[in-house]
Each structure stands twice: as structure tokens, then as C-alpha cells.
Structure 1
Amino acid sequence: MADLEAAPVSYEDLADIEDEFEEVDTEISSRLPHNLNVRKQYELSASLYAKRSAAASKIPNFWSLVFEQAPVEIDQYIQPHDSRIFAESLVSFEVRRPELDTKGSGNPRSISVEFEFKPNDDFEDTVLEKTFWYRRSRDGWSGLVSEPVKIRWKKGKDLTEGLTDGAIALWEARRKTGDMAAKGLPEYTALKKKVESWNGMNTSFFTWFGWVSGRRWVSAEECEKANAEYAELKQKRKTGGKLDIPDDDAEDDAEADIHDDDVEVHQAGEELAISFADDLWPNAIKLFTQAQEDDEISEADFEDLDGEDMEDDEDGDGEPVDIRALVQDKGAKGRSRDSTGSTGPPSKKVKK
């Protein structure tokens, strides 16, 4: 949670961190293969992300303001009631590469996304974390898969209208049967009915936590076998060896078991995970700064800054601009006031 007594953070501090990120990007050769590029960037940027997180913790509403400016690939799935939760309760946000953290040489395309919230009126959880594993199936497909994450909604507060709970119930039922594609289950029928009742509409961003796969679940064991087969196939191609071509019937059987879209509670699970990792997380400072620029500062505000802090800073002796104070002052603009005159969280903006 933000420490209001901590030393102020200046725009210059954030700009310095952003410059260091750009230096890392420049250092990494664009000629590196994608996997090596991501791996090296993750290694070199780790200390910078820790430094940025420390600075962000001193700025109230830092992450809620970042989410206000989220790229359209993310923002289109954040409903006004989701935005209220982010504005009121979001404390921190983090993206990690779990296979690099635990294995070092693991697949850098696996992603873990963590949200931390302060106690709130909507759910019991203070941390919601979802991990996406990059896996290859034995029929040649590769992509992200994930397990559904339980959200402990308070009574009457479930913004997903039971969709995430339905995804959990089906997941557990399939695990019991040992068939992660099983459809002859009451949990499958119940979830399919719920999904169809929404006719493809997104009830809440939080349905994302129930996402499993845009195709079908692929286990770690299947992935390991598929990777071994793929490596063998690549070697045979290099040496001109004989390739085993599957018969048409086998391909048809595999294809018939591919899609599970009719019970997928969020259609853009993989795309959102990638957008968090590739866009919002690395560009958080830029998005935060954009949030400041989008809220108009009056000429008087500029004159005050020019006449006091900025004039002192020209000599290098002045105190840094207290961003926390600016955020709090700025945040009051455009917010509704109750009968006591207090202000609520920033309302969700309509993106153009």
C-alpha cells in the first residue's frame, strides 16, 4: 500500500528510470531470436522493475491511473464497474516470467500476472494471480494455456455473474474424470448455458481469471513429449531423414478435439495476457505520465510551479516536485462529491 509519509518522487526520478529501460532496449541486439531477446531483456530489466515498483509504491493511485490509460487491447474489456474496483482498491501490479524465475532456461513466453488489492467491498482476496504457460501440443499447436483462478466474491458482488465459478467447477470435474476435454458432464452443460446466455458479451474484466485456453488444455506432460517429438522432427529435416506422416483419420480425430470455445468464459484470455506483458507492464511510466497530461492543468498551476519549484530546480537546489500531491490534486478534478464534500475515485474515461 502507498506510504503517504515516504519521500516524494519527482517526474525527473521517473524519467531517469524510463531512460534506463531504454538503455537496456538499446543494448539488446535486434538480431537476437525472439526467445533470446525476451530472456536477455528480462534478465537486464529485473533490477529496474524493482526500482520502478519502489517508486510507484510512493505514488497513490499510480497503477489505477496506468490502467486508466491502458491500450485499447486491454481497455475494451474493462467495464465501468471494473474500473471502479481498480480506482478504489488496486495497490500494485506485476508481470513475471515464471519459467525464467524457477528454471532459468525455461520458456520465456510463459507469463504470470499479479494484481494486489487493498481490502474492499467486492471480494475477499487481496492478491489475484494468474499464470499462463506456453505449451506445445502433440498435434503441432503451440500457445498459452492457464488454470482458472477462484475469486472469492462477497455476497451479491460477483461481477462475472457466476462465470468464473462455473469455469472452476468444470475444471475440477474434468480433473476428476482425467479427461480435460470431457463434455458429457453436468458442469459442462451448466457453464455452456451461462456462456450462451451472455451471447458473447463480456460481463466483466474479471471473467479473464476463469480463462483456460482458446483451443484446448495442454498439460505439462503432453508438452514435454511434444517438444521432444518436435526436436526430433527438426533434426530429421536437417539430416534429410524419413519423416513420419500421420494418416488423415488421425488428423481428423485430433482436429475434432481442438476447440472448446463454447464454454470459454473470456474470449481474449491469451491476447490480454500478452498485452499486459508486452504493452502495459513495460510502458507503465509512460502511461502514468500520459494520465497526468490528459488532465488539464490550469495556467495558474503552471505559474505556481514555474514561480516556485521549477525556478529553484534550475539552480539544482530546489526540492523535487511531489508527484503524490499532484496526483491527489489532479484526481479531485472531475470526481463526484458527496454531501460531506469528499471525493470518490476517478471515474472511467470514455476512450476515443
Structure 2
Amino acid sequence: MAVTAEEILATYDQLAEIEAEFDDVETETIRHQYNLSKDLYVKRAQIVSKIEHFWPLVFEQAPMDIDEFIQPSDSQIILGALKSIDVKRFEIDTPVEGGDPRSVSIRFEFDDNEHFEDKVIEKKFWWRHGKDGFVGYVSEPVDIKWKAGKDLTNGLLSLAKAAWEEEKAAPKKEGKEKKELTPKQKELKEKLEAEATGAESFFCFFGFIGERVSAEENIEALKKEAEDRKKRQAGEKVEDEDEEMNEDDEDWEDEEDLDIFPQGDTVAMAIADDLWPNALKYFSKCLSSKS
């Protein structure tokens, strides 16, 4: 017997609800595991701080999602100056409306080195939902105080930070009024086009932005998702609306092209979900490879 279009749509709604329930389970699992293990990570940090070069040796065995972006010049800093890494799920530690346990801060601590003055470089990644259906990490550029002539990003990171500040300060466009790139964004775009080599420094990671999804948009999207779930659970039809694209799609594409490290979300996830929790495994692997 042929299946009707209405029956297919009803089945899709059921599957969408199951996917949402899986997401609920994943979210609560992350929250529970983090709360159970965070004191253990503190103990681990105290112990490994006594082991010389622990974190550099961990990074030496980093998974491919991280290792492929580490250039030889980056390795010199990581192996010679990295003291520690710390990962926090800050929206669990400090609950906020629309917060998600997948949001992470990644904190790198360094010894004195010949390349930059910073002792601590910390970057936050917010897990957000967009009105267009996007779900994933967004972030803000974090600059590094490079010493003269030692900038491994060749000015890209500082320029990305300056362009971001200009973008935030620029007047918001109303309706279909076209949004133009700011002067710093234009400068950044030209620099990226001129220096496209495919071998950017790992330290460009700190410039990752991703999608422009604000905290306010995230809350609106979550409320819409919650309303749709209630309708599905009540057996009501949820309209299959086209994705709500921004009115200035072309401008957003331009801004996406300005990301100096587009794979930043992948690297952040690899650090938070693999390298950080499995540090002892990677350390042991490094020792085994040297024996």
C-alpha cells in the first residue's frame, strides 16, 4: 500500500523528535560527566605539573584534527614553552540563559619565549543555535602580543581582531540595506587573498569566529525549537519552513571568507573532547614511541 505524503511528513516529525531527544541525552551526559570529573582534572593538573614537558609531549602525539595545523615554527613554541592546558565548560560553571554544556574555554599557559609576551592565552567557544538552522561553535578573535619580528601569523591575527572590533562597532543595517565591509575587513580580505598558502600558523586558531550568531539569536532559536517540539509531542503539524536566511546572505558569505582559521571549531572540539580528557593516553603513547 502506498504511503501518503501526510504519513511521510508525520514520520519525519517523529524522527525529528527522536533526534531532539538524543540531543537532550548528549547534553545531560556532558553536564553530568563534567560535574563528576572536574575535581579529578584538578588533581591531574597538580600531578602532571611535576612532570617536565608533559603537555608538549601530549601535543607531540596530538590527533590528526590538531596535528595537521601545527607548522614546524609552531612546534618550536609548543615544545619549548607550553606549560599547561586547561578546558572549562564555562556555561555549566556559570549558568546563563540559553547556555549549553558544550560551550568551552581553552586556556594555554606558556613560559617565557622569544615569540610573544603573553603567559596565558584563553579562547572561548560558545555552542549556539541560529535561526537559519545552524548549530555549532562560534567565537571571537583573541590577539597575541607578538614580539617585534616574531609574529607567526604575519599580522593576520591582529588584523582579524581589529576587523572584528570594527564589525561590532559598525551601525546595524536595517531591512535590505546592503552591508559593506569595514576598512579593516577589506584590508584583511586583501591580505588573505594575497597570502593564500594553505599553511597558516596554528596560532591563527585564536582568530576563529565562525557563524555570526549572537546570544540573543541563540535564545530566540532555542525558543522556536522548544515550541516546535511541543507541537510534535502534541501530534500537531510543524510547518516545514524554508531556512530563515539572513537578508544580506552575500554579505555573510563575505564575512565567512574573512575567517583566518575556518577549521577552528574542529580543532576546539578535538582539544576539548579528545586531547584534554585523554592527555594521559597521549603522554604514554609519546613515551612508548621514544623507548
For residues 91 and 252 of structure 1, the distance between their equivalents in structure 2, rounded to whole angstroms, comes to 43
For 1:87, give the aligned amino acid: L
Secondary structure of residue in 1 paired with 2:148:
coil
For residues 210 and 73 of structure 1, the distance between their equivalents in structure 2, rounded to whole angstroms, comes to 17
Contact 2:69-2:199 at 8 Å conserved across structures: yes
Work out whether 1:90 is the aligned partner of 2:82. Answer: yes
Residue number in structure 1 paired with 2:272: 277
2:204 pairs with 207, 227, 240, which one?
207
Question: Following TM superposition, by how much is the alpha carbon of 1:141 offset from its aligned partner in structure 2, in angstroms?
Answer: 1.2
For residues 239 and 38 of structure 1, the distance between their equivalents in structure 2, rounded to whole angstroms, comes to 28
Residue number in structure 2 paired with 1:311: none
Contact 1:123-1:157 at 8 Å conserved across structures: yes
For residues 79 and 270 of structure 1, the distance between their equivalents in structure 2, rounded to whole angstroms, comes to 19
Runs of at least 4 residues of structure 1 off by over 6 A?
none
For 2:230, give the aligned amino acid: Q
Spell out the pairing of 1:307-346 with structure 2 (5 A cutoff).
none
Secondary structure of residue in 2 paired with 1:208:
helix
Work out whether 1:224 is the aligned partner of 2:216. Answer: no
For the aligned residue pairs, the C-alpha RMSD in angstroms reads 2.4
For residues 137 and 53 of structure 2, the distance between their equivalents in structure 1, rounded to whole angstroms, comes to 31
For 1:227, give the aligned amino acid: L
Spell out the pairing of 1:137-176 with structure 2 (5 A cutoff).
137-176=130-169
1:96-118 superposed Cα distances (whole Å, 9 cap, x missing partner): 11101111894111011000001
Contact 1:202-1:266 at 8 Å conserved across structures: no
Cα 1:240–1:83 shift into 2, 3 Å: same
Residue number in structure 2 paired with 1:114: 107
Secondary structure of residue in 1 paired with 2:257:
helix
- TM-score under structure 2 length normalisation: 0.84
For residues 251 and 91 of structure 1, the distance between their equivalents in structure 2, rounded to whole angstroms, comes to 44
Q: Number of paired residues? A: 264
For residues 112 and 58 of structure 1, the distance between their equivalents in structure 2, rounded to whole angstroms, comes to 24
Contact 1:97-1:108 at 8 Å conserved across structures: yes
For 1:47, give the aligned amino acid: D
For 2:48, give the aligned amino acid: A
Cα 1:150–1:32 shift into 2, 3 Å: closer
Residue number in structure 2 paired with 1:73: 65
For residues 164 and 99 of structure 1, the distance between their equivalents in structure 2, rounded to whole angstroms, comes to 26
Gaps of 5+ in 1: 1-29, 297-352
Question: Following TM superposition, by how much is the alpha carbon of 1:218 offset from its aligned partner in structure 2, in angstroms?
Answer: 0.7
The share of aligned pairs that are identical, in percent, is 43
Contact 2:179-2:251 at 8 Å conserved across structures: no
- TM-score under structure 1 length normalisation: 0.70
Question: Following TM superposition, by how much is the alpha carbon of 1:193 offset from its aligned partner in structure 2, in angstroms?
Answer: 1.1
For residues 37 and 53 of structure 1, the distance between their equivalents in structure 2, rounded to whole angstroms, comes to 23
1:63-118 superposed Cα distances (whole Å, 9 cap, x missing partner): 00000010111001011111110111111111111101111894111011000001
Residue number in structure 2 paired with 1:99: 91
For residues 246 and 111 of structure 2, the distance between their equivalents in structure 1, rounded to whole angstroms, comes to 50
Higher Rg of the two aligned structures = 1
Cα 1:178–1:244 shift into 2, 3 Å: farther
For residues 242 and 218 of structure 2, the distance between their equivalents in structure 1, rounded to whole angstroms, comes to 22
